Amino acid sequence: MFRGRGWSFGFRTAIILYFICLIVLPIFGIYTQSFSLGWMPFWESVSDPLAWKAVLLTVKLAVIATLINMALGTMIGWVLIRYRFPGRSFLNSLVDLPFALPTAVGGLLILLLLGPNSLVGSLASSVGIEIVFHEPAIVIAMLFVTFPFVIRAIQPLLEELDKSEEEASYTLGASKAKTFFSVILPTMLPGILSGAMLAFSRGLAEFGAVVLVAGNIPGKTLVASVYIFGEIESNNPQGAAAVSVMLLTLSFLILWLVNVLQARRTGA
């Protein structure tokens, strides 16, 4: 028994040390680096107009991508769970492709499919719509990397949904629309919200796909992650860390909200 307890203690210690080295120390290092020169240099870094524009643009486009993901993810998750059709399993497996594919490859795909020399890009340009090297391309890149979050968050909820509740609603004379909004949607809502917040947090940090398609024009298409990279390239790690702290703190708040929603859903 003593050996079993010793092994368990050693295993827990190893996990804690791994967590500290992989997560806690890098985060602590970012906060320390951002204030390494004092409060005033930190404030000057985060209040720089280009930094604020990059952060606000990132937040705005991440919100747009998240709202689109909420709508499309809910519909796709619903179809994949409730309907049976040829190729369903293959499509369901493709949902996780953005998790496995390097994001830079995703950006290259967008560049090839929607760039100025592509068929879609040239047609869009002919009617005055610019995609690549403009904000629409950034939104598409964010959509690509965050595509699975909402779908995978609502699928377990739909699988656990008791169909007798739907049947009871139909029996009482409710229409399909009323049944969806009064019975089905409340069940899916925690998954939609948690998946949306994870997608938003992921969109804030995206670099690989965005850097290839954004154009990276300061004040126009320069997002926060590319701005941070530029600060590092300019030998300004304190400025890069200061902007990183803004995104990191926002991500912490989002993850905290996700945990609160999940705890309420499970009744913990």
**From CA 93, how far away is CA 7, in angstroms rounded?**
38
In this model, does residue 44 exceed pLDDT 50? yes
Tokens 């209040």 belong to residue: 47
Say if residue 127's pLDDT is above 70: yes
Q: Does residue 24 carry a pLDDT above 60?
A: yes
pLDDT of residue 265: 60
| Global confidence as pTM | 0.83
pLDDT score at 2: 45
The Cα–Cα gap between 3 and 101 comes to 43
CATH architecture of 39-266: Orthogonal Bundle (1.10)
- Of the chain, the percentage scoring pLDDT greater than 90 comes to 11
How many CB atoms are located within 10 Å of the residue 253 CB? 12
Average pLDDT over residues 10-29: 78
Cβ(3)–Cβ(210) under 8 Å? no
The pLDDT score that the predictor gives to residue 221 is 87
DSSP 8-state symbol, 61: H
Angle at 262 between CA 165 and CA 31, to 5 degrees: 160
Q: What per-residue confidence (pLDDT) applies to 101? A: 84
226-235 average pLDDT score = 87
Select, from the ranges 24-38, 185-199, 245-259, the one with the highest average predicted confidence (pLDDT).
185-199
> pLDDT tens digit string along 64-86?
999 999 999 998 988 888 888 88
Question: In the prediction, which pLDDT does 262 show?
Answer: 67
Average pLDDT over every residue of 49-70? 91
- Domain parsing of the chain, residue ranges: 1-34, 39-266
pLDDT, tens digit, 9 for 90 and up, residues 183-215 = 788 888 888 888 898 899 888 888 888 888 888
What span, in angstroms and rounded, lies between the C-alpha atoms of 126 and 185?
41
Q: What is the mean pLDDT of the chain?
A: 82
Q: Would you say 239 and 136 are in contact if contact means Cβ atoms under 8 Å apart?
A: no
pLDDT classification of 267: cutoffs 50, 70, 90: low
pLDDT at res. 35: 75
